[in-house]
Amino acid sequence: MTGRLRIAVHKFASCDGCQIQFLNLEQDLLTLASRAEIAHFAEASSVMQPGPYDVSFVEGSISTSADLQRIQEIRAASRLLITIGACATAGGLQALRNWKNHDEFVRAIYARSEYIDSLARSTPVSEHVKVDAELWGCPIDQQQLKRVLSDVLARIAPRIPGESVCLECKRAGHVCVLVAGDVPCLGPVTRTGCGALCPRYERDCYGCFGPQEDGNTRALGRRFREMGLSDADIVRRLRFINGWAPAFRAGAQVWEK
């Protein structure tokens, strides 16, 4: 195959932090621009080319009726669709609305709710279209992003590790905050990728990379119970940035009255 890859970055409901991780690639951003055509990236450029795209990176969750249509169009225009971040991959922190009364939220914040286009639930892209790869994290990790970019530039399927962050944490030699510090660390059930930051900063992991492939959220909940957390504490622990991810959703459900 010849020609430079055409890359697009699209945004839905989000904080823009995963797009910022592209902009924070610093000198590597210029390298990327020299090796691929950045065809559509509204936050970075005023030039917005229409599809088709070789790879679309999608940030943000699906949360309005307009989003439902736009994600279909993006899927149709993209050979590969890769979600970036907790919002696109699991619904994001704003998926906390999924357990609440959405209409009451709208009315509480806006005087004229009829002007507001907002769905009752904030959902991941994969609930609406086929997704080719998911880059987890809130925000995504730049090393993982660079590996995925290298994979797509080499035209091979992106490889994203699914093991627990605990393994990375042990390899780095951090003191286990769960065992030694008696704090409710989510590391055992959380996916690797951040560099085991929270234990390095002497605190508990809060699961911002989402569930690892084989975690036992139920068992970890029992451990938290033994440590003195209330049922409500355990629910809040799992129902957080990736709370709508199935493994965390099920793990929290166990402790809900």
Partner 1 sequence: MSSERRIEVPVLTRVEGEGALYVHIDGTRVADLRLNIFEPPRFFEKFLEGRSWKEIPDMVARICGICPVAYQMSAVHAIEAAFGARITPAIRRLRRLYYCGEWMESHSLHIHLLAAPDFLGYPDAMALAQDQPGIVRRGLRLQGLGNAILSTMGGRSVHPVGARVGGFYRAPDQAEAVALLARLRAAAQDAEDLVRWTAGLKLPDVTRQAPFVSLRHASEYPMNEGAIVSSEGLNISAAEFDAHVMEHQVPHSTALHALINGKPYWVGPLARLNNNLTHLPPHTLRLAEQTGIHWPSANPYHSIVARALEIHFALHESIAILEHYTPPGEPFVEITPRAGAGAWCTEAPRGILWQRYEMDGEGLVKKSRIVPPTSQNQAQMEADLRASVEENLSLHDDDLRARLEAGIRNYDPCISCSTHFLNLMLKRT
Burial class (CB in 10 A: 0-12, 13-18, 19+), 27: exposed
Q: Please state, in angstroms and rounded to a whole number, the distance separating the CA atoms of residues 80 and 226.
A: 45
Smallest Cα–Cα separation from 85: which of 31, 16, 23? Answer: 16
77/197 with CB nearer partner 1: 197
Residues 194-233 that bind partner 1 (CB under 8 A): 194-195, 197-198, 200-203, 206, 208, 233
Stretch that binds partner 1, among 1-9, 102-110, 155-163, 185-193 (CB under 8 A): 102-110
The identity of residue 131, as a single letter, is V
User: Is residue 24 within the footprint of partner 1 (CB under 8 A)?
Assistant: yes
SS3 state of residue 215? coil
- Residue from 15, 167, 176, 254 touching partner 1 (CB under 8 A): that is 15
Residues from 115 through 144 that contact partner 1 (CB under 8 A): 115-118, 122, 138-139
Residue with Cβ nearer partner 1 (112 or 156): 112
| Identity of the residue, 86 or 131, whose beta carbon is nearer to partner 1 in the bound complex | 86
Is residue 242 helix, strand or coil?
coil
Find the part of the chain contacting partner 1 (CB under 8 A) among 106-114, 149-157, 168-176, 247-255.
106-114
Written in H, E and C, the secondary structure of 61-98 is EECCHHHHHHHHHHHHHEEEEEEEHHHHHHCCHHHHHH
> For residues 6 and 52, is the Cβ–Cβ distance under 8 A?
yes
**Binding positions for partner 1, rule: CB under 8 A:** 11-21, 23-24, 26-27, 29-30, 33, 38, 42-48, 63-64, 66-67, 92-94, 96-97, 100, 105-106, 108-112, 115-118, 122, 138-139, 194-195, 197-198, 200-203, 206, 208, 233, 236, 240-241
